[in-house]
Amino acid sequence: MDLPLNPFKAALRARTPQIGIWCAIGGSVHAESLASCGFDWLLIDTEHSTVDMPTVQSMLQAVAPYPTHAAVRPGWNDAVELKRLLDAGAQTFLIPYVQTAAEAAQAVSAVRYPPNGTRGVAGITRASRFGLIPDYTSRADAEICLLVQVETAQALTNIEEIAAVPGVDGIFIGPADLAASMGYPGNPDHPDVQDAVLDGIRRITAAGLPAGLLSLNPDLLERAAAAGSVFTAVDVDQ
């Protein structure tokens, strides 16, 4: 059995647009049903949901045979949580609330094996297909895709530094939190917020990384695409 390649990571590198959907309802039937809908990726969200670890694993299993990529958002930039999700076979992560380059570097470290990082090693896990993937430990890092979420006014000022952290594969702008941090709670479509989002996308792109966002506003999505956004989630499952 060979190491599953990460087509989403490859697409991001090639700047091929990836349209996705937010998945905050747990369950493998639900996940497989969504996986059949034609999205390029789906984000299994554990940050703003009650989806738990065994459910994430069952959802990864359900999505596996489909030409859709399942990314996972942990509850936080937490190495223990990431270790468990990695062993469950997740390959793409969206890390919430990264404010600084140091925090981004911490996330990178958590998802990479020594000497490149500090990911804990287990020989027999779903990630290594129960030990069947040859050289999993030395090859796993290459197929991990790490996306960090910039979602405050302060974090926006650090985009270039965050983008410069080796191992960060993309930066996502979270409009809801950004709106709140800018004084417009519950109003991510406020013009000031939209401007900040679009400016962020441009700066991420200029810094050499693919930019992403979640929005249900078709107009903003269009402007974001024009600004260079690559991975965009356009709907939520609830």
Catalytic residues: 48
3-state secondary structure string across 66-109: CCCEEEEECCCCCHHHHHHHHHCCCCEEEECCCCCHHHHHHHHH
For the chain, give percent helix, strand, coil, nearest 5. Answer: 40, 20, 40
* Helices and strands in the chain: count of H runs, count of E runs: 11, 8
Which of Mg ion, a copy of itself, none does residue 62 bind (CB under 5 to 8 Å by kind)? a copy of itself
Which of Mg ion, a copy of itself, none does residue 54 bind (CB under 5 to 8 Å by kind)? a copy of itself
**What is the closest distance, in whole angstroms, from the C-beta atom of residue 120 to Mg ion in the complex?**
4
Residue closer to Mg ion (CB basis): 28 or 189: 189
Report the residue count for the chain. 238
Q: Is 62 in the site for a copy of itself (CB under 8 A)?
A: yes
Residues 6+ apart with CB under 8 A from 161: 100, 101
Residue closer to a copy of itself (CB basis): 96 or 170: 96
From 100-108, 171-179, 193-201, 204-212, give the range in contact with a copy of itself by CB under 8 A. 171-179
3-state secondary structure string across 43-64: EEECCCCCCCHHHHHHHHHHHC
Q: Is 25 in the site for a copy of itself (CB under 8 A)?
A: yes
Residue closer to a copy of itself (CB basis): 117 or 210: 117
**What is the closest distance, in whole angstroms, from the C-beta atom of residue 64 to Mg ion in the complex?**
26
Q: Is 106 in the site for a copy of itself (CB under 8 A)?
A: no
Task: Please identify which residue in 2, 14, 115, 208 interacts with a copy of itself, judged by CB under 8 A.
Answer: 115
3-state SS class at 230: strand
CA atoms within 13 A on the CB side of 150: 29
Residues at the contact surface with a copy of itself, assessed by CB under 8 A: 1, 24-30, 32-33, 36, 46-58, 61-62, 64-65, 75-76, 78, 80-81, 83-84, 87-88, 96-97, 113-115, 120-126, 129-130, 132, 135-138, 176-177, 179-181, 183, 185-188, 236-238
